[in-house]
């Protein structure tokens, strides 16, 4: 009975995420975050890589939630399948040593932009990605997770086992370093 209730709750949360409810993403993290992280840690055999991969999983769930179909599979199976696919991607990339944040900053296609504006946006995203690579991996992770994907300081604190005040200071410090890098590169 408890599993059925949890499954109904998972399906409802996925529907809300598909409707762009940010609170639903936080609820999903609270409901299944430990299970999804544990699965990543088991598959990747590297807790640090599992933590980084989990930070990439939540935005992917945000983008793909609209594809969830409860008539095909239950919500947790859908989440675990995405988790496993992402773990496989990380294992494939591990040999190439490509940091996740080099690909994570992206922009959605905007039909209202002309070709010149699209090229400018592509250039800007490239500059941000290049500047992110000058930061430590943890600083870049925190900055991307906080500012791009909207994770709260409390959620980041739980992922890094740090108080939210410490995470806040690190995010601010990384933001200042990124800004300095971008302004320095512009000169």
| Residue-level pLDDT at 166 | 92
Name residue, tokens 């935005």.
59
b/e map of 3-31 (b: 16 or more CB within 10 Å)? eeeeeeebbebbbbbbeeeeebbbbbbeb
Q: Quick check: 167 and 138 in contact, CB under 8 A?
A: no
Could you tell me if 89 and 119 lie in one domain? no
Residue where one domain finishes, among candidates 40, 65, 100: 100
> Cα separation of 130 and 128, whole Å?
5
**Domain of residue 120, residue span:** 112-187
Residue where one domain finishes, among candidates 100, 132, 149: 100
Could you tell me if 69 and 4 lie in one domain? yes
Q: Quick check: 23 and 62 in contact, CB under 8 A?
A: no
- Is residue 106 domain-resident? no
| Residue-level pLDDT at 100 | 44
| Encoded tokens for 62 | 């945000």
Residue where one domain finishes, among candidates 57, 74, 100: 100
| Residue-level pLDDT at 33 | 92
Closest C-alpha among 151, 179, 119 to residue 55: 151
Q: What is the mean pLDDT of the chain?
A: 80
Per-residue confidence at 99, pLDDT binned at 50, 70, 90? very low
Per-residue confidence at 159, pLDDT binned at 50, 70, 90? confident
| Residue-level pLDDT at 19 | 92
- Most distant pair of Cα atoms in the chain: their distance: 63
Could you tell me if 54 and 11 lie in one domain? yes
Of the given ranges (3-7, 102-106, 151-155), which has the lowest mean pLDDT? Answer: 102-106
Could you tell me if 119 and 56 lie in one domain? no
């Amino acid at each position: 009975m408890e599993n059925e209730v949890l499954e109904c709750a998972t399906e409802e949360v996925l529907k809300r995420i598909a409707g762009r409810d940010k609170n639903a993403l936080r609820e999903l993290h609270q409901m299944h975050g430990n299970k999804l992280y544990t699965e990543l840690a088991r598959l990747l055999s590297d807790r640090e890589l599992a933590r980084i991969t989990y930070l990439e999983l939540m935005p992917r769930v945000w983008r793909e939630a609209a594809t969830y179909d409860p008539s095909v599979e239950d919500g947790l199976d859908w989440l675990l399948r995405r988790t496993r696919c992402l773990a496989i991607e990380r294992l494939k990339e591990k040999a190439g040593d490509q940091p996740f944040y080099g690909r994570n900053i992206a922009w959605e296609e905007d039909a209202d932009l002309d070709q010149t504006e699209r090229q400018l946006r592509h250039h800007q995203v490239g500059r941000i990605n290049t500047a992110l690579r000058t930061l430590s991996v943890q600083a870049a992770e925190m900055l991307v997770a906080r500012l791009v994907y909207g994770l709260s300081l409390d959620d980041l604190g739980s992922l890094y086992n740090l108080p939210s005040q410490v995470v806040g200071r690190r995010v601010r410090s990384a933001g200042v370093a990124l800004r300095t890098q971008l302004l320095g590169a512009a000169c």
